[in-house]
Amino acid sequence: MTTASAPNQEILIRVQATPNPNAWKFVLDRAVLKEGKATYADANESSHNKLASALFQIPEVRQVHFFQNVITITHNFDADADSIQSQVVSVIQTRFHLHNPEQTQVDEKKLARQNLPVEVQTIEEILDRTIRPGLQGDGGDLTVIKYEDNKLYVHYEGACGTCPSSTTGTLMAIEGLLRDEFNPQIEVIPL
């Protein structure tokens, strides 16, 4: 079943700043994804998704992140914000009817957690409860890459991927929470 919009149906879009000066959130009045999230780092990764591919046709776009009813666009640091916003809104308005919000599978990372070591499952639960809601509210997210020798390796997604605060304040907050709730010796390292 496809739930794509009719081509002539106006989409209400609110543009919001994120803590990352190089990223903008576009909050839609309808679902972008029914389940999970999707981050595309380039046009090749987005080839199966017509809306994401169309957004990558804007030359300054560097990353596209879909989550619930939000599209977060990360762009070149020297791009004109008004131009980016206008172009993204135009693409959403003209191409959303080609998009299927059920296209992306259930977040495979969450399904794969059942096979993770117990320590990593605990870390994921803490991050889900404390950190991820704030990151997702700002148009980003965090992926745990691995945990070994008291070191947690993470990868920022969406607006968080190039945000200056992700390697300073946000990183210290994550480390502080995990030290309080999980391991006083843990070190969090962004990749």
- Whether residue 75 contacts residue 60, with contact meaning beta carbons closer than 8 Å, is answered with yes
Query: What is the model's pTM?
Result: 0.67
CA distance 119 to 94: 46
Task: Quote the distance between the C-alpha of residue 32 and its chain's center.
Answer: 12
Q: What does the pLDDT read at residue 165?
A: 80
Is CATH 3.30.300.130 the right assignment for the domain spanning 108-190? Answer: yes
Q: What does the pLDDT read at residue 190?
A: 93
**Cα angle: 19, vertex 39, 135; to 5 degrees:** 30
Domain 13-98, what architecture?
Answer: 2-Layer Sandwich (3.30)
Same fold? 13-98, 108-190 = no
Contacts of 173 (CB under 8 A, 6+ apart): 131
> Following CA atoms 74, 79, 80, 83 in sequence, which dihedral angle do they give, to the nearest 10 degrees?
-60
CA distance 24 to 159: 7
Residue 28 tokens, joined? 């839609």
Q: What does the pLDDT read at residue 4?
A: 45
CA distance 55 to 46: 9
Residue 83 tokens, joined? 């131009």
- pLDDT, tens only, 84-116: 999 999 999 999 999 988 875 444 455 567 778
Helix, strand, or coil here: 21?
A: coil
Stretch (H or E) spanning 15 = strand 13-17
Domain ranges of the chain: 13-98, 108-190
Contacts of 160 (CB under 8 A, 6+ apart): 20, 135, 138, 139, 140, 141, 142, 166, 170
| pLDDT tens series, the chain, 191 aa | 334 445 557 899 999 999 999 999 999 999 999 887 888 888 888 888 899 999 999 999 999 999 999 999 999 989 999 999 999 999 999 999 999 888 754 444 555 677 789 999 999 999 988 998 888 888 888 889 999 999 999 999 888 887 878 878 889 999 999 999 999 999 999 99
Residue 89: CB atoms within 10 A of its CB come to: 14
Q: What does the pLDDT read at residue 5?
A: 47
Residue 183 tokens, joined? 């391991």
